Amino acid sequence: MRLPGIPDEEFIRVEKIPMTKEEIRVLALSKARLFDGAKFIDIGSGTGSVTVEAGLVVGEKGKVWAIEKDKDAVELTKKNVEKFKLNNVVIIEGEAPEALDHVDSEVDAIFIGGTERLEEILLSSDKKLKNGGRIVIDAILLETVNKALSTLNQMGYKTDVIEVIIAKGMKTSKGYAMISRNPIFIVYGEKP
Ligand SMILES: C[S@@+](CC[C@H](N)C(=O)[O-])C[C@H]1O[C@@H](n2cnc3c(N)ncnc32)[C@H](O)[C@@H]1O
């Protein structure tokens, strides 16, 4: 099993599509408790960086569904999935929660990086998640954190949240200067 942590520079990127950064991907997939052979849904796949990391973790026996509503982001997800030579990924062009109907299996974990219509997405995700499975939400806004926690708590999930504040080294002629990245919240819940 391969652990996540692919450097951001290894992904094909376009400026207008934001990417979940390397350190956040590592933490988010750790909170998702992914394992070799697991089934996983990435909602709002964007560049496909989380999809690719998850595809490598779950391996040939596992499967990843990438849901994305934006056509350009779908193409970018496809390119990155091809670059990393993954054949265990299904890319679904469409908007969640409706697009979740195309996932034909119960899954072990769900990552939500696209948080439009979050409440509806959480309620529909619950129907696809195995008991004991986890939902992980990446959020920038406090309001999203609040909505995620209150909805998951109402659904009876065991919840928690972390705030991640990262500074990354930038090489200069004199040495490394630390450049801070925007704080991110990771909300996660476990289905009873
Ligand atoms: C912050 S980006 C996700 C970044 C992605 N995790 C990555 O590493 O590239 C959010 C993405 O979610 C998509 N999105 C937002 N709401 C969505 C929904 N309800 N269904 C499908 N895609 C959605 C947006 O089009 C956007 O590409």
65 lies in a domain?
A: yes
Report which protein residue has its CA nearest ligand 1's atom 15.
114
Whether residue 28 is contained in a domain is answered as: yes
User: What separation in Å is there between the alpha carbon of 114 and the centre of ligand 1?
Assistant: 4
Was 172 annotated as part of a binding site?
Answer: no
Domain of residue 105 covers: 8-190
Asked if residue 104 is part of any domain, the answer here is yes
User: How many residues in total does the chain contain?
Assistant: 192
Ligand 1, atom nearest to 44 Cα: 12
Ligand 1 geometric centre to CA of 75 (Å): 13
Is there a domain that residue 58 lies in?
yes
77 labeled binding residue: no
Structure tokens at 109: 């974990």
Assembly ipTM: 0.99
Give the containing element (helix H, strand E) for 82: helix 71-83
Q: What is the pLDDT of residue 161?
A: 98
Per residue in 77-134, pLDDT (tens digit) is 999 999 999 999 999 999 999 999 999 999 999 999 988 899 999 999 999 999 999 9
Q: Residue 131 C-alpha to ligand 1 middle, in angstroms? A: 25
Given ligand 1 and candidates 22, 69, 78, 185, which is best to mutate, with the most ligand atoms within 8 Å of its CB?
69
43-81 pLDDT, tens digit per residue, is: 999 999 999 999 999 999 999 999 999 999 999 999 999
Domain tally, the chain: 1
User: What CATH number is given to the structural domain containing 47?
Assistant: 3.40.50.150
| Residue 2, in any domain of the structure | no
**Strands, sheet with 107-112, edge to edge from the N-terminal-most edge strand:** 89-93, 63-68, 39-43, 107-112, 129-139, 184-190, 158-164
Query: Residue with structure tokens 């979740």?
Result: 100
Residue 117 located in a structural domain: yes
44 in a labelled binding site: yes
Residue 125 domain-assigned (yes or no): yes
CA 97/CA 124 separation, integer angstroms: 6
Residue 3 maps to a domain: no
Between CA 25 and CA 6 the distance in angstroms is 9
